[in-house]
C-alpha cells in the first residue's frame, strides 16, 4: 500500500474520494509521523484527537455521499491562529496556557471544509523573526542538513514549524502567515511552496496580530496545486475583519495552467544585490529560461525604491507591533506576574518583562520610539512615504509586465546561531520578500533547485493585486520544469 504520508493534499483528497484509503488511515499515518519527530520541535501542541475526529467524520460523510473540499486531509495550524479550546501562544510565554473561546476565521473555514488538525505549529515569537530562534518553546530544527555535518539548520521563519513539518512529511500542508516574508522564506529554505495572497484575501480575525497593515495568512504545501486548493479554503470575505476584501473566491485550482503565452515577466534589476551567492544568480537565470520555455516574454524593469524597503519595513512593522502588543498586560490573557505588594503598573511591568522574549521587546521599543512625539515625523511618517513609493514602483513595473520573477531569499538555509548575534544580519534575509508585503501584493515561493551543499533554493513570483492565478500559474510553469525532487534525509 502507498505510504500515505508521502501524498500531498490533492492526492489525499482524490484517493480518499476514490475509496483507495480511509480518512482514519490517513490521520493515523500523519499522527504517527508527528509523534516520531519530536527532535524537530515543529509542534507546540499536538492534537491527534482533533485529526482523528475530523477523519471519522469524513469517513461517515463519505459513506453518505457528502464530500467536502478537504475531506480526508489533516493539516498543521501555525500557532498564531486562535483555535477554540486549544492552546494558542504565538510562541510566547506571555500567552502560555491561553485557550481561546473562539476559532479564527481561517482555521474555522478549513475545519468546515473537512480538514482535521494535527497540531499547533511552532513559529518565531509573535511571528517576529526569520529563523524560528525567537520562539519561547525552543527553535524548530530543519529536517535538512548540510552533507557530513550535523549542525542544525534554520527552517526559516517565522512559519518555520509549518515549513519543517511539511518538508519532513508530518503534515501534507499547513497554514502560514506572512508579514514580511514568513511564508515565502521558510518555504524556500525547506524546498516547499507557499503563497502569500493579496492583502485582504484571507481574514485576519482570530490571527494574533503582529503588524496589522501587513499581516496576511496563506498556505504552505508540497506543490503549487496543493497551495491553490488550500488557499481556496482559507480565503474569502469576512465582515469581522474591516480590511477583508469583499470578493468571491476564484477557482484557482481549476484554472491552473502552466502555459504562459502572452505573459510578460519583469526582472527587477534592483534585486541583483551585492554578495549574493553565485548559485542564486544562476538559479534566477535558470528560472528566466523556464518561464521563456513556458511561452512568456522577459522584460527588464526597475523598482527604484527597493533599497529603502527594509528600513521602512523595520519601522512600520515594529510601530504597529508596539501598539498591537499593548494588550498583553497580565489582565486579559495568559501570564500574570503579580509580585508581593505590587500595584497595577508593577504588574504590567513584571508581566511584560517576564512574558516577552528579547526580539519582541526590541521591536516594542523600536516601535514605541518611532511613534513618539519627537520622532514620529522623522521615522514613521517618512517610512509611510517610502511605503507609498514602493507601491508605486510596482504599479509602474506592472504597466510593462504581468508578473515579476526574483529569488526568494539571498541565501540558502543558515545554521541556527549563525545570524542571531546581530539583528541587522537577520533582517537582511528579508530583502526580497519585504517590498511585496509593503505593497500588499500576492507573491509565492516555489523550489527551483539546490545549492552546492544540496540545500533548497526558492524562486519568487510576484503578481498584481488579486492576480493569485497569474502567480500560481507561473509557479506551476517553474515547478514543472524544475522537477524538484530533493528531500531531506531522515535523521530524526
Ligand atoms: N522576518 C520578518 C520579521 O522578522 C518577517 C516576519 C513575518 O513575515 N512574520 O519581521
| Best CA proximity match to 30, nearest among 4, 54, 55, 49 | 4
Q: Which atom of ligand 1 is nearest to the CA of 183?
A: 8
Owner of C-alpha cell 482535521: 116
What pLDDT does residue 1 have? 58
Dist CA 225 CA 208 (whole Å):
28
158 is catalytic: yes
Residue 23 has a pLDDT of: 98
Cβ–ligand 1 distance for 442 under 6 Å, the answer no
Is 78 a residue of the active site?
yes
The domains of the chain, with CATH numbers, are: 4-259 (3.90.1300.10)
Separation of CA 134 and ligand 1 centre (Å): 11
CA of 192 to the centre of ligand 1 (A): 18
Q: How many CA atoms lie within 13 A of 464 on its CB side?
A: 13
- Closest ligand 1 atom to Cα of 128: 4
What Å distances lie between residue 103 and 44, 54, 81, 124, 213, CA to CA? 18, 16, 8, 21, 21
Closest C-alpha among 60, 63, 34, 59 to residue 47: 34
From 487, 401, 484, 410, select the one nearest 446 (Cα to Cα): 484
CA of 155 to the centre of ligand 1 (A): 14
Contact 232, 472 (CB under 8 A): no
- Set 104, 182, 193, 322: catalytic member: 182
Q: Which of 68, 71, 78, 263 is catalytic?
A: 78
The alpha carbon of 158 and the centre of ligand 1 are apart by a number of angstroms equal to 6
Question: Ligand 1 pocket: which of 182, 314, 325, 427 to mutate (most atoms <8 Å of CB)?
Answer: 182
Atom of ligand 1 nearest to the CA of 185: 1
Distance CA 375, CA 466 (A): 35
CA dist 51 and 43 (Å) reads 14
Q: Which residue has the cell 552533507?
A: 147
**Structure confidence at residue 191 (pLDDT):** 98
Q: CB within 8 A of 27, min separation 6: which ones?
A: 48, 51, 52, 54, 55, 74, 116, 118
Instruction: Compute mean pLDDT per 10 residues along the chain, 492 residues long, and list them.
Output: 91 98 98 98 98 98 97 98 98 97 98 98 98 97 96 97 98 98 98 98 98 98 98 98 98 98 98 90 98 98 97 98 96 91 94 97 98 96 98 98 98 93 89 98 98 97 98 98 96 97
Angle at 436 between CA 293 and CA 363, to 5 degrees: 145
Amino acid at each position: 500500500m502507498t505510504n500515505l504520508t508521502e501524498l500531498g493534499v490533492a492526492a489525499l483528497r482524490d484517493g480518499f474520494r476514490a475509496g483507495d484509503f480511509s480518512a482514519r488511515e490517513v490521520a493515523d499515518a500523519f499522527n504517527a509521523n508527528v509523534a516520531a519527530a519530536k527532535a524537530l520541535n515543529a509542534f507546540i501542541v499536538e492534537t491527534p484527537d482533533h485529526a482523528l475526529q475530523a477523519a471519522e467524520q469524513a469517513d461517515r460523510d463519505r459513506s453518505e455521499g457528502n464530500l467536502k473540499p478537504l475531506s480526508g486531509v489533516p493539516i498543521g495550524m501555525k500557532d498564531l491562529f486562535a483555535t477554540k479550546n486549544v492552546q494558542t501562544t504565538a510562541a510566547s510565554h506571555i500567552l502560555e496556557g491561553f485557550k481561546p473561546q473562539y476559532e479564527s476565521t481561517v482555521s474555522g473555514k478549513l475545519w468546515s471544509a473537512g480538514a482535521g488538525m494535527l497540531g499547533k505549529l511552532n513559529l518565531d515569537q509573535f511571528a517576529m523573526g526569520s529563523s524560528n530562534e525567537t520562539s519561547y518553546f525552543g527553535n524548530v530544527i530543519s529536517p535538512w542538513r548540510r552533507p557530513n555535518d550535523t549542525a542544525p539548520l534554520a527552517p526559516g521563519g517565522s512559519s518555520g514549524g509549518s515549513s519543517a513539518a511539511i518538508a519532513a512529511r508530518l503534515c501534507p500542508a499547513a497554514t502560514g502567515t506572512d508579514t514580511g516574508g514568513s511564508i515565502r522564506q521558510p518555504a524556500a529554505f525547506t524546498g516547499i511552496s507557499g503563497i502569500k495572497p493579496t492583502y485582504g484575501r484571507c481574514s485576519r480575525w482570530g490571527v494574533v496580530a503582529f503588524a496589522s497593515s501587513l499581516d496576511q495568512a496563506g498556505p504552505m504545501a508540497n506543490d503549487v496545486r496543493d497551495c491553490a486548493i488550500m488557499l481556496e479554503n482559507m480565503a474569502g470575505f469576512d465582515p469581522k475583519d474591516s480590511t477583508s476584501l469583499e470578493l468571491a473566491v476564484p477557482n484557482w485550482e481549476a484554472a491552473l495552467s502552466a502555459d504562459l503565452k502572452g505573459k510578460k515577466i519583469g526582472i527587477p534589476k534592483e534585486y541583483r544585490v551585492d554578495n549574493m551567492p553565485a548559485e542564486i544568480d544562476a538559479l534566477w537565470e535558470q528560472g528566466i529560461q523556464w518561464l521563456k520555455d513556458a511561452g512568456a516574454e522577459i522584460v527588464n524593469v526597475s523598482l527604484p525604491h527597493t533599497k529603502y524597503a527594509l528600513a521602512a519595513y523595520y519601522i512600520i512593522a515594529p510601530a504597529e507591533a508596539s501598539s498591537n502588543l499593548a494588550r498583553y498586560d497580565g489582565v486579559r490573557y495568559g501570564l500574570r506576574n503579580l509580585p508581593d505588594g505590587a500595584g497595577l503598573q508593577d504588574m504590567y511591568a513584571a508581566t511584560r518583562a517576564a512574558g516577552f522574549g528579547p526580539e519582541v521587546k526590541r521591536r516594542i521599543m523600536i516601535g514605541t520610539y518611532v511613534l513618539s512625539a519627537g520622532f514620529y515625523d522623522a521615522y514613521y511618517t517618512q517610512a509611510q512615504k517610502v511605503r507609498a513609493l514602493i507601491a508605486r514602483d510596482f504599479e509602474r513595473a506592472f504597466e510593462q509586465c504581468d508578473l515579476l520573477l526574483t529569488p526568494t531569499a539571498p541565501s540558502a538555509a543558515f545554521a541556527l546561531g549563525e545570524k542571531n548575534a546581530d539583528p541587522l544580519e537577520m533582517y537582511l534575509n528579508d530583502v526580497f520578500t519585504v517590498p511585496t508585503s509593503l505593497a500588499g501584493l500576492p507573491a509565492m515561493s516555489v523550489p527551483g533547485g539546490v545549492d552546492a551543499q544540496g540545500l533548497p533554493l526558492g524562486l519568487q513570483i510576484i503578481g498584481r493585486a488579486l492576480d493569485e492565478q497569474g502567480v500560481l500559474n507561473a509557479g506551476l510553469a517553474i515547478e514543472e520544469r524544475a522537477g524538484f525532487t530533493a528531500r531531506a534525509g531522515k535523521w530524526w
